[in-house]
Structure 1
Amino acid sequence: MTTVAETGPFARELRRWRGVRRLSQLDLSIRAGTTQRYLSFLEQGRSQPGRAIVVRLAESLRLSLRERNALLMSAGYAPAFTESDFGAPSLAPVREALRTVLAGHLPYPAIIVDRYGTLLEANAGFALFTEDCAPELLRPPINVRRLALHPDGLAKRVRNLPEWGRHVTEALRHRARVSPDPELDAMIEELESYLPPAELGPGYLGFAVPLRLRTGGGELRLITTLTSFATATDVALAELHLEAFLPADEATATRLRDRFQA
């Protein structure tokens, strides 16, 4: 009898991802266009999957490009998607296009970060967030999540830190639930250690918390828009996020325009 300990890496990963997605064998087999019996054989290690079924299962499980590559490799196949460094020559057109987008967002801040919040590109408006921050938080590579919530970073100027900080960490928690990652879990634990206690009433909407930022010119209220590259075929590009900040009121818009023109 085949036991869990005797199954190979593909069988273990397939079972793990099905559990993460909370799918029955029948649900997943229907999505992937196969039979429950065959899927059961795969999970027991009794059948060796072909590359095509691994690809279909990864698609059916809605895995990221990085996760799809890992599932293919666990079955003994080469990765399907390249992974380039953001600074690679092949991504030069993408970098140039992103810089154009960042510049076009001025006078409002906008940044490009990787999956862990490492800053890759920013427009001039990003300086709004670095004022009076500890120098060690601004040494490359800058992690914008840490910069935002660390007591020596932006946090000391955030007027609604308990609410806004949890808006940040809950977004990361959602990502970690979709794509479990020990490094991301460690980052969330670190960030939550910086946050003061919060009394979140029944009217709290964690997904819609504006940033209330104290500045010398008055309070700014900012909302965030997130753009990802869902149709990318390069792992690094697919994991990028463009975070663009927008004014939540006319007073903020006016102050940011005046600041940029000064």
Structure 2
Amino acid sequence: MATPLASTPTRHGAGELIRHWRTQRHLTQQELAIGCRVSARHLSFVETGRSRPGPELVMRVCERLEVPLRFRNDILLAAGHAPAYGESELSEPSMRVVSEALIRILDGHLPFPAVVVDRHWGMVDANAGIDRLVAGCAAALLEPPVNVLRLSLHPDGMAPRIRNLPQWRGHVLSRLEHQLQATGDIELAALRDELRGYPGGTDHAPPHSLMVPLRLATEAGELSFFSTTTVFGTPMDVTVAELAIESFFPADAATGDLLRDNIKHSLNMSDSG
């Protein structure tokens, strides 16, 4: 199980952080040293604090260990170097191209739901298709900041309408556990523990299933979706690296037909108005 590590370089030396990530990736010092083209002795000195790594070595180590950009900055700072990656707000002019890309992707996915989330599953943006998924959820859960995993599994959220709740819970918790293994993020650990405490049980998908669908009861009938995740390639900004787009697709013909008919009806109503 991953050991959560807060993003607090002032409390951790660079060597301790490197050792943490090496352990998380299940590599020996020798294996990491070979991958980074340094001696195991030098790496040992770095991890014990007897030697301070230069920025080039830090970057090689982080690449080999697939350390998230946010935590790469932490290691650089702990080693006395400037961070290598910026962290921008989506509202900044420099992020306009990213914001416009997100809008195009969200709008282009209609009439099906899609949502943009950050590294802690906070909702950054969503298209109009998401309204059908969250209909009937408690208002408190829809107040910003909205956490989409909490919204889906909370007993006052989507959970009472999810027909295959044990399977969906198992899928969500397993995915969150994998993310925690990869990042060691202490806030994700807290979210995992919170979600584990919600009722509903856990189960696995039936044998030979292609994927775990989200089967949701609505006023229009049961809808069934599967989801895909889209991320930006080769990001060099912390914010961009931590964004993901969750796109929901119809898992059966009935769901696709219902949502397409719904959007046609909405367009006809607009034209008649």
Give the TM-score normalised by the residue count of structure 2.
0.89
Q: In the aligned structure 2, how far is the partner of 1:261 from the partner of 1:141?
A: 32
One-letter amino acid of the counterpart of residue 52, structure 2: Q
Determine whether 1:68 maps to 2:72: yes
Shift in CA distance, 202/92, structure 1 to aligned 2, threshold 3 Å: closer
What are the equivalent positions in structure 2 for 1:200-219 lying under 5 Å apart? 200=204, 203=207, 208-219=211-222
> How far apart are 1:88 and its partner, in Å?
2.1
Q: In the aligned structure 2, how far is the partner of 1:134 from the partner of 1:23?
A: 45
Deviations 1:187-209 (A, max 9, x none): 0111121142245487387x921
2:83 corresponds, among 75, 79, 83, to 79
What are the equivalent positions in structure 2 for 1:80-159 lying under 5 Å apart? 80-159=84-163
Deviations 1:70-91 (A, max 9, x none): 1111111110000012222211
Q: In the aligned structure 2, how far is the partner of 1:194 from the partner of 1:204?
A: 28
Q: Partner residue of 1:50?
A: 54
1:19 corresponds, among 7, 18, 23, to 23
Q: In the aligned structure 1, how far is the partner of 2:176 from the partner of 2:132?
A: 23
Shift in CA distance, 155/201, structure 1 to aligned 2, threshold 3 Å: closer
One-letter amino acid of the counterpart of residue 237, structure 1: V
Q: Partner residue of 1:3?
A: none
Q: CA RMSD in A?
A: 1.6
Determine whether 1:243 maps to 2:242: no
Q: In the aligned structure 2, how far is the partner of 1:43 from the partner of 1:97?
A: 41
Contact residue 165 and residue 195 of structure 1 kept, 8 A: no
Shift in CA distance, 123/201, structure 1 to aligned 2, threshold 3 Å: closer
Deviations 1:229-251 (A, max 9, x none): 24111101100000000001111
> How far apart are 1:154 and its partner, in Å?
1.0
2:231 corresponds, among 209, 224, 228, to 228
Residues matched between the structures, number: 254
Contact residue 17 and residue 75 of structure 2 kept, 8 A: yes
Q: In the aligned structure 2, how far is the partner of 1:204 from the partner of 1:160?
A: 16
Q: Partner residue of 2:255?
A: 252
One-letter amino acid of the counterpart of residue 211, structure 1: L
Task: Give the secondary structure class of the aligned counterpart of 2:197.
Answer: helix
Q: In the aligned structure 1, how far is the partner of 2:208 from the partner of 2:15?
A: 42
Contact residue 210 and residue 222 of structure 1 kept, 8 A: yes
Contact residue 170 and residue 204 of structure 2 kept, 8 A: no
Deviates more, 1:72-81 or 1:136-145: 136-145
Deviations 1:164-204 (A, max 9, x none): 11201211110000110111111011112114224548738
Contact residue 162 and residue 195 of structure 1 kept, 8 A: no
Q: Partner residue of 2:189?
A: 185
Which runs of 5 or more residues in structure 1 are unaligned?
Answer: 1-7
Q: In the aligned structure 2, how far is the partner of 1:247 from the partner of 1:158?
A: 15
Q: In the aligned structure 2, how far is the partner of 1:162 from the partner of 1:249?
A: 20
> How far apart are 1:97 and its partner, in Å?
1.5
One-letter amino acid of the counterpart of residue 258, structure 1: D
Deviations 1:46-77 (A, max 9, x none): 22221111111111111111111111111111
Q: Partner residue of 2:9?
A: none
Q: In the aligned structure 1, how far is the partner of 2:188 from the partner of 2:151?
A: 16
1:165 corresponds, among 156, 160, 169, to 169
Contact residue 122 and residue 147 of structure 2 kept, 8 A: yes
> How far apart are 1:256 and its partner, in Å?
1.0
> How far apart are 1:24 and its partner, in Å?
0.5
Shift in CA distance, 68/230, structure 1 to aligned 2, threshold 3 Å: farther
Q: In the aligned structure 2, how far is the partner of 1:193 from the partner of 1:179?
A: 22
> How far apart are 1:11 and its partner, in Å?
1.5
